[in-house]
A and B are shown apart, each in its own frame.
Chain A
Amino acid sequence: MSAATLAGLVGSALVGLGLYGLIVDPQPLRKILAFNLIGSGVFLVFGIVARRGAAAGFPFDPVPQAMVITGIVVAFAASALAVALILRLHEETGQVLLDAEPPAERPNEQEAGK
């Protein structure tokens, strides 16, 4: 198995892991982390497409690589926006969890919402 295929399989496993974390973890910051894991998994899949496109004397296809570079920057911008929204939500409501259940059921929540 080539290094590229291996990296692609790692990428798909990362997407799975990130998806699980995104759904299961109620803490918004952890959701952002999980979302970034999904993103980097997708980037790795792009990376192997780039590596498999090696031709014309280049060891890679530059087009997917360039897209990954812009993608990493955009992913960061999205994370920063999400963080700002979470901090503001916390400020307004005292809530630190993104969860359907009402916060009053948890003793820790009341402490947080001072």
Chain B
Amino acid sequence: MSVALDLFSIVAIVAGAFFFFAGSVGLLRFPDSLTRLHALSKADNLGLGLIVLGLLPRVESLLGALKLLAIWALVLLSGAASAQLIGRALRRRGGDE
């Protein structure tokens, strides 16, 4: 059972790390700010979400698991709001940067 759980953790964490990688590549390579913003929000939501998912089988207490989920929820919330804020700021400036 623990081998299966470890395997699950590994798959989820590798997938999460991939999304962080993809987010960074997008941030560096995409041509304009709005597409970069798009790449960033994927890394925020999916990357951290998959890492949290992968770490869930390894926590010992219920509180620990709840904290992990709360961290993800907070990042989702603030990621969504700040993407909106940054997007608006870009549009105010003409979005041509």
Does chain A touch chain B in the assembled complex, meaning CB atoms less than 8 Å apart? no
Residues of A bordering B, CB below 8 Å: none
Residues of B bordering A, CB below 8 Å: none
